[in-house]
Amino acid sequence: MIRFEGVTKKYDDSIAVDHLDLEFPDGAITCLVGPSGCGKTTSLRMINRMIELTSGRVTIDGRDIRDQPAAKLRRGIGYVIQHAGLFPHRTVVDNVATVPLLNGWDKRKARARAHEVLELVGLPGNFASRYPAQLSGGQQQRVGVARALAADPPIMLMDEPFSAVDPVVREQLQDEFLKLQGELGKTIVFVTHDIDEAIKLGDQVAVMRVGGRLAQVAQPAALLADPADDFVADFVGRDRGYRALSFADTPSLPLASEPTIELGASVDQARAATSDRWLLVVQDGRPQGWVEPARLTGPIEADSLHRGGTVARVDGPLRASLDAALSSPARRGVLVDHEGRLVGTVRAHEVLTAIEQTDRPRSDDEASGGIRLGKERG
Amino acid sequence: MNYALNHFPEILQRAGQHAWLAGVPLVLGLLIAVPVGWLARRFPKASPWLVGGSGLLYTIPSLALFILMPLILGTRILDPLNVIVAMTIYTLALLVRTVVDGLSAVPRDTVAAATAMGYSPVRRFLAVDLPLAVPVIAAGLRVAAVSNVAIVSVASLLGIPNLGFFLTDGYQNYDNGEIWTGIVSCLILALVFDLLIQLAERLLTPWQRVVHG
């Protein structure tokens, strides 16, 4: 556990972090989030003494971080930054082997470990001998994560690690990161300016305000349900009622069975299958999209499908079920099982009824209940 | 051409002397410029003094410096050491700024990451900063090498043997062939230095020539 006790960082005439008291629980992701100038990166960097605090105390498992030399402390703490900060003059494998080598491992053992970690972050062996300049931004960021993990540190500090890559890659990296964390269970401090990222990744979210003060620390669902003040409410942003549904598991919805047609079927078969305007097309039981039988001119082909509707897992969060209903051209949301096979459809008002019957997370319970580890990611 | 063919062994011998007088200071200057450059980076307030001060050294006329050296070092006027020390000063004058520029060009993210990985300052300098500064330092070294080869010829005015001898001697004997021999030999020597530095740079920076992805 990392603990901040009255931590303050002053520069000549400004205060970057002001009497911060905060705990980062073991095995959990704590997101530090806030507008620029709120001291979130300064707070992160005080943990591995890249920035020395002015007053107060930071302890790791009860031990003051100033009790050991900075370089030694840092080798026990993984560090990932925005542009990865890879060493351009070293190959991928040697980048990853850096900390094991600093710890005195011999080269062969360090490289073997590096290959292991590269596999873990999804970079196959032929990447190992490349130089960073030969990788895409997303691949570089993966190497950055691998490098931080190589010496298997219990703590990882991550400073906006995914904000310099495009949105599609970012989402992919976030998902992989959560999966990896599910296996590794590191104590992670994650700095971001993006509240959606904080809510998606954090087991605990600490919102900071300009002047380096803590505005609120809570689990994501509680943050959305009950912002502590106007600043947090503003920062958390619009649609928070809708976004909070990401954390509400779908209760058993009244599923309707949906007439379907196989991909490749003829016009006559399609028109015979339903009397409704829209017909769901499946292949091996998996929904592919919608067609309007009346408008068909030939057999149902993949590129004649209307693909606007999203598909939700029947055991996923309510937000996805509602979105499936809202986005479906037939107004019937498609629900599937864990293998992607059609289970049934649900209408928006049915999802809303289910929402009405769900309890909102109560902030007082959450605040005293501590951190729920290994939260389900949907 | 005839002069050069008839005096080939002498040209080789003087070229060797010339290369020694120009090359040794190049190495010494680099060895001194690197820690001075590190100091300038480490103490930003001292940086203008270190960089500006060392750059000023280049404005001392070479002939004056060659003549002053025996007074400062207590050496004899014909001691090649005078030339070595003087040329080291010129090399230093050109290289300190280059080293500082090279170290400044190392990406900040890379430096921050290296520090956060747990490199001690000295180890980080040798393992990360310096290797990444090689392309810029090599460019400065090539300028210094050519400059050294040119300035060393002046030392022949004092009777210190090198390729400059063909220029002074040729001038006295009105021998155009001999003067051209001196000029062309200097050019070739400068070119050889240049190629050697480029070769060393290529060997030290394989990462510079990868195809970007």
Number of domains into which chain B is organized: 1
Using the Cα atoms of residue A219, residue A224, residue A230 and residue A231 in order, give the sign of their dihedral: positive
Q: How many CA atoms lie within 13 A of B189 on its CB side?
A: 31
A104 touches B at CB < 8 Å: no
User: Which residue range is the domain that position B46 belongs to?
Assistant: 2-206
| Listed residue (A265, A262, A191, A247) closest to A30, CA to CA | A191
Higher-pLDDT residue of B70, B28: B28
Neighbours of A13 (CB within 10 A): 5
Query: Residue B115 above 80 pLDDT?
Result: yes
Query: Tell me, what's the pLDDT at A218?
Result: 95
**What share of chain B has pLDDT > 90, as a percent?**
63
Say if residue A292 is in the same domain as residue A143. no
B114 touches A at CB < 8 Å: yes
Say if residue A190 is in the same domain as residue A69. yes
Query: Tell me, what's the pLDDT at A366?
Result: 44
User: Is B210 close to A133, i.e. CB distance below 8 A?
Assistant: yes
Say if residue A21 is in the same domain as residue A140. yes
User: Tokens at residue B10, please?
Assistant: 């002498």
Instruction: Kindly give the pairing relationship between strand A342-347 and strand A332-336.
Output: antiparallel
Query: Tell me, what's the pLDDT at A359?
Result: 66
Q: How far apart are CA A220 and CA B180, in angstroms?
A: 82
Say if residue A215 is in the same domain as residue A292. no
| Listed residue (A77, A86, A74, A188) closest to A144, CA to CA | A86
| Average pLDDT taken over every residue of chain A | 89
Q: How far apart are CA A291 and CA A270, in angstroms?
A: 9
Element (H, E) at B3: helix B2-6
Q: How far apart are CA B146 and CA B150, in angstroms?
A: 6
Amino acid residing at A194: D
- pLDDT (tens digit, 9 = 90+) per residue, A149-168? 999 999 999 999 998 888 88
User: Tokens at residue A311, please?
Assistant: 């598909």
Query: Residue A224 above 60 pLDDT?
Result: yes
A and B: number of Cβ contacts within 8 A = 74
Query: Tell me, what's the pLDDT at A378?
Result: 38
Residue of B nearest to A71 (CA): B118
Place of tokens 């050296």: B69
The whole-number average pLDDT for the span A83-100 is 94
Place of tokens 């603990």: A3
Q: Which of B113, B207, B213 sits opposite A85 (nearest CB)?
A: B113
Lowest-confidence pick of A195-204, B5-14, B122-131, B185-194: B5-14
User: Tokens at residue A101, please?
Assistant: 């080598």
Burial call A177-212: b when 16+ CB within 10 Å, e when fewer? beebbeeeebbbbbbbbebebbbbbbbbbbbbbeeb
First to last CA, chain B: 51
CA distance B120 to chain A (A): 6
Say if residue A191 is in the same domain as residue A107. yes
With bands split at pLDDT 50, 70 and 90, how would you rate the model's confidence at A360?
Answer: low
Query: Residue A319 above 90 pLDDT?
Result: no
Q: Is position A322 within any domain?
A: yes
CA distance A139 to chain B (A): 10
CA distance B134 to chain A (A): 10
User: Which residue range is the domain that position A337 belongs to?
Assistant: 260-356
Higher-pLDDT residue of A317, A216: A216
Query: Tell me, what's the pLDDT at A161?
Result: 92
SS3 A4: strand
User: Is B113 close to A133, i.e. CB distance below 8 A?
Assistant: no
With bands split at pLDDT 50, 70 and 90, how would you rate the model's confidence at B100?
Answer: very high
SS3 A57: strand
With bands split at pLDDT 50, 70 and 90, how would you rate the model's confidence at A92?
Answer: very high
- Spacing of C-alpha A55 from chain mean position: 33
Q: Is position A376 within any domain?
A: no
> pTM to 2 decimals?
0.77
Query: Tell me, what's the pLDDT at A301?
Result: 87
Which ranges in A185-229 belong to alpha helices (H)? 195-201, 220-225
Say if residue A206 is in the same domain as residue A348. no
Number of domains into which chain A is organized: 2
Q: How far apart are CA B56 and CA A269, in angstroms?
A: 91
Amino acid residing at B40: A
User: Is B210 close to A85, i.e. CB distance below 8 A?
Assistant: no
How far CA A11 is from CA of A51, A109, B115, in Å, comes to 11, 43, 21
Q: What are phi and psi of A90, to 5 degrees?
A: -120, 145
Query: Residue A361 above 60 pLDDT?
Result: no
Say if residue A289 is in the same domain as residue A210. no
